[in-house]
């Protein structure tokens, strides 16, 4: 049983390792030499890589609860001090006040005359007792008056102390408010004397600049009025010939390569395009053009839907025979390719002047409801079949994830690629600089960032990825082409 369990664990480990290996080379379809050859491809050149399972490690320090001794101790008990008690003093009996019977030593030498003194005191007691009885009520009344006077004086003293305290507090409050008023006064004085004049000078300078701009605008308006007195003449006159698309224009006599007006159907507003009427017998409608990096292709979904860039330029011959950098617009491309069989020609040039092309006999872009799904077939050319086969320098799943056929269109604000849909950190268009039919991510990136000179590195790229104008089957991931264009025309078998 243990042997079966160990065998099962080994088989599971091998299966897990195969699933974690992203570069699964297809040795059955490759010659033995290609299978034994070790191919090293830059990790960021063909996203994504299998980085293993991304787990969250909640390794956070949690402080323990407070522990230790109490802040208070027990209260001491009250005990009586031993040996300390109430002692009762015995009253010393004094001899009789008179002391006339015995010659007591405590009475002194007057003891013999005590009887006479007693007799005299008894005689005076009757008179004095009457006076004392009369003085008693007076003393009581005087005591009560003294108590009343004391209480009144005490209350007056308490009231005086309270008034003195309130007076001192009021003085403190008055002092604080006086200091604050003095500070506010100093601040206001400094503001009025310094800040206001400075702000007034700044505003006066701004007002003067605005007046100058108004004067310039008035002069410009006046100049425009003077120029508009005569009929305006366009620097890029529109040819008389027009049609549904460039093939129709060619058959109507428009055999010069330049800008034309087309109207695919009666419900569509006419718009400008550039027609190539010389390459392979003409009839090509230019839907994408990169020449010099003058137009930014890192655009939003709506801009790719409507189209952007410069259709053509006048080189001084009276007509616009030089194409500019532009994207025709996904709505227009979809409409033209859905009118009938359409072929596409992708021409490219490196910085040494060498040129190659990739041509597909079938090319269709679906409508916006399907996010402009790309469908191509029938490859011919010498640039490499990147749209159908992916990058030839990759193998297995790494190659299939660079195939563009069947992909939806993606921009940085609308992610439709196959690289973890919905995850903003794994978004091909945001990393590769333009809108395109990205998979996971690309073998071709015609709308990428424009790098002058060709070769570039991941340190030059914004996200460390191959975000240049790339066609991997010709120049690899880290070479940005000098020029690339996409042209379409109706496909006829007899052509």
| Beta-carbon count within 10 A of 85 CB | 7
Q: Which residues contact 332 (CB under 8 A, 6 or more apart)?
A: 264, 271, 287, 307
Q: pLDDT value at position 316?
A: 65
Per-residue model confidence as pLDDT tens digits over 231-280: 555 466 778 888 999 999 999 999 999 999 999 998 989 999 999 999 99
pLDDT above 70: residue 293: yes
Give the separation between CA 376 and CA 443, rounded to whole angstroms: 15
SS3 assignment for 42-70: CHHHCCCCCCCCCCCCCCCCCCCCCCCCC
pLDDT above 80: residue 147: yes
Q: pLDDT value at position 398?
A: 87
High-pLDDT (> 70) share of the chain, %: 73
Q: pLDDT value at position 136?
A: 81
Peptide bond between residue 441 and the one before it cis (omega within 30 degrees of 0): yes
pLDDT above 80: residue 321: yes
- Buried b / exposed e along 161-172 (16+ C-beta atoms within 10 A): eeeeeeeeeeee
Peptide bond between residue 487 and the one before it cis (omega within 30 degrees of 0): no
Check if the beta carbon of residue 100 is closer than 8 Å to that of residue 115. yes
Give the separation between CA 469 and CA 391, rounded to whole angstroms: 15
Phi, psi of 393 (to 5 degrees): -85, 0
Q: pLDDT value at position 80?
A: 46
Per-residue model confidence as pLDDT tens digits over 25-81: 333 334 334 334 444 445 455 665 554 333 323 333 433 343 454 433 544 554 444
CA 181, 182, 186, 188: dihedral to nearest 10 degrees? 20
Give the residue with greater pLDDT, 312 vs 115. Answer: 312
Give the separation between CA 343 and CA 348, rounded to whole angstroms: 17
Q: pLDDT value at position 4?
A: 54
Give the separation between CA 215 and CA 361, rounded to whole angstroms: 60
Q: pLDDT value at position 126?
A: 72
Q: pLDDT value at position 6?
A: 56
Per-residue model confidence as pLDDT tens digits over 335-392: 999 998 999 999 999 999 999 999 999 999 999 999 999 999 999 999 999 999 999 8
- Which region, left, alpha or beta, applies to residue 454 given φ > 0 means left and ψ of -120 to 50 means alpha? left
* Of residues 440, 431, 447, 360, the one with CA closest to residue 407: 440
pLDDT band at 116 (very low <50, low <70, confident <90, very high): low
DSSP-assigned beta bridge partners for residue 445:
470
Q: pLDDT value at position 49?
A: 56
Q: pLDDT value at position 473?
A: 94
Per-residue model confidence as pLDDT tens digits over 184-230: 888 888 888 888 888 888 888 899 999 999 999 988 888 888 877 76
Q: pLDDT value at position 45?
A: 59
Q: Which residues contact 365 (CB under 8 A, 6 or more apart)?
A: 330, 333, 334, 337, 338, 372, 373, 374, 375
């Amino acid at each position: 049983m243990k042997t079966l369990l160990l065998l099962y664990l080994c088989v599971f480990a091998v299966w897990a390792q195969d699933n974690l290996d992203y570069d699964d080379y297809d040795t059955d379809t490759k010659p033995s030499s290609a299978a034994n050859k070790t191919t090293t491809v830059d990790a960021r050149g063909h996203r994504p890589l299998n980085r293993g399972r991304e787990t969250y490690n909640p390794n956070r320090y949690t402080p323990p609860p407070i522990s230790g001794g109490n802040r208070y101790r027990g209260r001491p008990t009250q005990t009586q001090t031993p040996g300390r008690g109430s002692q009762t003093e015995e009253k010393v009996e004094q001899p009789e006040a008179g002391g006339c019977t015995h010659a007591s030593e405590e009475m002194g030498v007057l003891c013999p005359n005590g009887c006479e003194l007693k007799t005299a005191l008894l005689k005076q007691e009757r008179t004095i007792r009457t006076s004392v009885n009369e003085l008693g009520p007076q003393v009581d009344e005087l005591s009560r008056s003294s108590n009343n006077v004391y209480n009144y004086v005490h209350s007056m003293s308490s009231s005086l102390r309270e008034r003195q305290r309130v007076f001192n507090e009021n003085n403190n409050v008055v002092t604080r408010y006086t200091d604050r008023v003095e500070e506010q006064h100093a601040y206001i004085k400094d503001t009025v004397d310094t800040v206001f004049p400075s702000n007034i000078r700044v505003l006066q300078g701004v007002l003067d600049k605005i007046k100058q701009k108004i004067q310039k605008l008035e002069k410009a308006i006046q100049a425009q009025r003077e120029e508009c007195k005569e009929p305006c003449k366009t620097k890029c006159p529109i040819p008389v010939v027009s049609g549904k698309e460039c093939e129709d224009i060619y058959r109507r006599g428009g055999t010069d390569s330049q800008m034309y007006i087309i109207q695919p159907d009666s419900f569509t507003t006419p718009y400008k395009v550039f027609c190539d009427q010389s390459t392979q017998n003409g009839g090509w409608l230019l839907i994408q053009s990169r020449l010099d990096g003058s137009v930014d292709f890192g655009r939003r979904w709506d801009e790719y839907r409507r189209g952007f860039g410069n259709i053509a330029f006048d080189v001084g011959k009276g007509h616009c025979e030089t194409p500019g950098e532009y994207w025709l617009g996904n709505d227009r491309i979809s409409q033209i390719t859905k009118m009938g069989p359409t072929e596409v020609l992708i021409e490219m040039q490196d910085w040494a002047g060498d040129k190659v092309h990739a041509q597909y006999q079938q090319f269709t872009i679906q409508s916006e409801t399907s996010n402009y799904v790309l469908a191509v077939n029938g490859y011919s050319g010498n640039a490499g079949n990147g749209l159908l086969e992916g990058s030839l320098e990759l193998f297995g799943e790494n190659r299939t994830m660079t195939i563009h056929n069947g992909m939806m269109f993606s921009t940085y604000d609308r992610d439709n690629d196959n690289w973890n849909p919905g995850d903003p950190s794994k978004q091909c268009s945001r990393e590769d600089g333009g809108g395109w039919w990205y998979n996971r991510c690309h073998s071709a990136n015609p709308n990428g960032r424009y790098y002058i000179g060709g070769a570039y590195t991941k340190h030059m790229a914004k996200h460390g990825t191959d975000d240049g104008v790339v066609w991997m089957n010709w120049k690899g991931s880290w070479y940005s082409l000098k020029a690339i264009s996409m042209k379409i025309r109706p496909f006829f078998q007899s052509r």
